[in-house]
Amino acid sequence: MTRTSSQPARLPWALQVALPLALAAIALAVFWPCIDYPFVALDDDANFEFNFLFRGLGDEQLEWMWGWRSYHYGHWHPLTWVTFGWDYARAGLDAAAYHRTSLAIHVASVVAFWLMALELLRWCIGSCSASAPESPSDRTRELLLHGCAALATIAWGIHPLRVENVVWLTERRDLLSALFLFLAVWAYLRMCRFGALRGAWLALALGAYGLSLLSKAWGMTLPVVLLALDLYPLRRRSAVSFGRLVVEKLWFAPLALLTAYQAASAQKQIAAAVTLEEHGVLHRAAQACYGLCFYVWKTLWPTDLGCHYLLELDFDPTRPVYVASMGVVALVTAAVLALRKRWPALLAAWFCYGVLVSPILGILQSGAQKVADRYAQLGSIPLVMLAVGALLVALDRRQASPVRRVEGDARVPQVLFACTAVFALALGFVTRRQVTVWSTSESLFRRAVEVEPENYFVLHNYSVMLYRRQAWSEATEVEQRSVAAHPGRGNEMARHTLGILYQMQGRMDLAEAAWRSAVEWEPEPGDPRYSDRPKFWLPDPADCLASLRNPLAARGAQAELIGLYEKGLERRADVLRLYVDLDALLAQAGRHAERVALWEKAEKQASISRAIVAGGQARALISVGRLRDAEPLAFRSAALDRVVAQEVIDALSAAVQRSGLPATLELFERARRASVPGPMVENGIGKAYLAANRLSEAEPFLLRAQALDSMSRAYVVDVCELFLRQGRRDDAVSNLRALLNVDPQNARAQALLQQATGAR
């Protein structure tokens, strides 16, 4: 009797359940040491220790997580943030709890991968079909199928390249996205079966795909991958037209396009994208081909793994390694195309591999990283499935051959499972060693320096770790290496930290020299790292100059410091902080006319915030008494950025108040007509009445301003000042104490509370 698609031969239920559970247990055992690891100083600190926005699952946190423009460090992944918020709600900043959640997600991903691999391998051997019921299957064939699925799961799930995804908490987005992506592909494969409940499986696939994209955007290429799978191994062209297959993927396209837009917007916000001027078309092609070869090679031979592989400053696509990479990619592509009819699996795997890793190959380069271990999480899947699928097909054909040796065949599944167990043991040992690399930030960066001794990024980070444990001399030597490897733009913090290290050792002459070099360094003539674009590589001197302020001020060398800032602006006129700091220095020196010229120069820099420029111009004009000229600039600043402009509006109001209350009220009427935000206008009028001691008239305006902008702490202090002057000390004290519980460093609130409590 021929079996229907719903009644294939099955292994015992206990074995079917035990096998994925065993795979999950292996993954758990291999990665188990990570549950005691701390946060690492590679984005974990910025994402968790210094980030107050994700802490919990309250309305405020959820609004930030799910905000359409809630980008953080160049990413939009609301669902991943929800898991971090849940971790914080139950464990605070206990890193071990976060690691346990990440490990649980990876274990679930291993089971999901098992389901996907098992289903995909059924299609590879023709056990499933889109146009006919499922073929009969004997026990040996099922054992081979399950054994190969287990082998594929081991090869993917406990590979050393998975360590970065699992142990680096910042990259939980990889784990969560992969989990739902595997479920989406599994549901899609089930949908394609003959006689399947298409609508239900499609809904499940779409739902899982949406959750994957909400976890991380890198699954956006899945519709193209599914179309490739339709051609092979699903062979759906025999039952469905190509046009219908394309239309079917349109269900997935809106989700992919929306996520691609969000991913691009998030990267744009942090200005991480590298321009074509910096990294040309040929450079990107060479980098992409290198990446295609890198992930294949590291999957086959996972040694010398690091947390950061640097994109060279003098990236030369004509170097032998890049020429060879482009040649290998061209030859492999030509070979799989030539063999597409005989071995279609080669073309399908190569195509899917290229599509899956395409977003991170450097074609749209972002940041200073050339490749990364974590990027192989999805890209390695076609490679693993190709190898295991070929093994299964070979074993299945041998088992189906009429001349096979029956007695020997009975032992083939046993040998397969035994080999899989040995492979798991060997691979698990290598992976476990890689897990220990992530045990501390120092060990992580030390290993990265061993892998790439001239990597200025990891050298600097390693130096900071040594600095934290007060290994001054060793940290200084490492930081010197970082500055020597790259003394220009992109490595300014190494120069700044080097000065701090000298300072900690009492070597102030060397500290000042290190900081001064930020405005004195020039690329050596002929240095290939900076050829034809030296101005682009000049460092941002803002941090170094800020560190020079105290030692120069102590010597009374304010004019010298101003000169250094002016030289810094000649070199890097695009750095906002230089304008802000120099403006403050000029104000201290009483050189107000120069402040006006300074902000006129800033206005010519398109990359600098228009709100800050307008506010700076307004403050400078106020300082020289040009109130009428300052007024439209202050209003413009307020319309662009209310937070930035509040100080400017207050300064303008204080200057106008010298002409009396009517002039101040007229100012804010003009502000209202100029579309200055309502809370700012109401608060300004209220403070004007308060300054004139007309308390009853001030009250409704100040209260209305606070109601319109409940997040403004300055408005709360203004209301408390009103209460205190009205004799309502209890109201003032209770509100000030509540504010200081949230913002304990608020100087105005502290002073007013001291005044209120001291007046009793």
SS3 letters for 508-571?
A: HHHHHHHHHCCCCCCCCCCCCCCCCCCHHHCCCCHHHHHHHHHHHHHCCCHHHHHHHHHHHHHH
> CA dihedral defined by 392, 395, 396, 398, rounded to 10 degrees?
160
Q: State both tokens at 740.
A: 């200081």
For the chain, the average pLDDT equals 91
Q: How many domains does the chain have?
A: 1
Q: For position 401, what pLDDT does the model report?
A: 67
- Which residues of the chain fall below pLDDT 50? 1-7, 759-760
528: in domain? no
- CA of 6: how far to CAs of 19, 128, 187, in Å? 22, 11, 16
Q: What is the pLDDT at residue 663?
A: 93
At residue 5, the pLDDT reads: 41
Domain that holds residue 240: 35-434
Q: To which H or E segment does residue 369 belong?
A: strand 369-371
Q: 217-249: per-residue pLDDT in tens? A: 989 999 999 999 999 999 998 878 889 999 999
56 assigned to some structural domain: yes
The confidence score (pLDDT) of residue 6 equals 41
Within-domain flag for 214: yes
Q: What HEC string does 345-359 produce?
A: HHHHHHHHHHHHHHH
d(CA 445, CA 461): 7
In a domain, 246, yes or no: yes
Q: Rounded to the nearest 5 degrees, what angle is found at the Cα of 14, between the Cα atoms of 12 and 16?
A: 70
> Is 624 inside a domain boundary?
no
Asked, for residue 340, whether it belongs to a domain, the answer is: yes
Domain membership flag for residue 609: no
Cis before 233? omega within 30: yes
Pairing relationship of beta strands 309-310 and 369-371 according to DSSP bridges: antiparallel
pLDDT of residue 7: 47
Closest CA to 334 of 322, 352, 347: 347
SS3 at position 22 = helix
In a domain, 510, yes or no: no
| Vertex 647: Cα angle to 645 and 652 (nearest 5) | 95
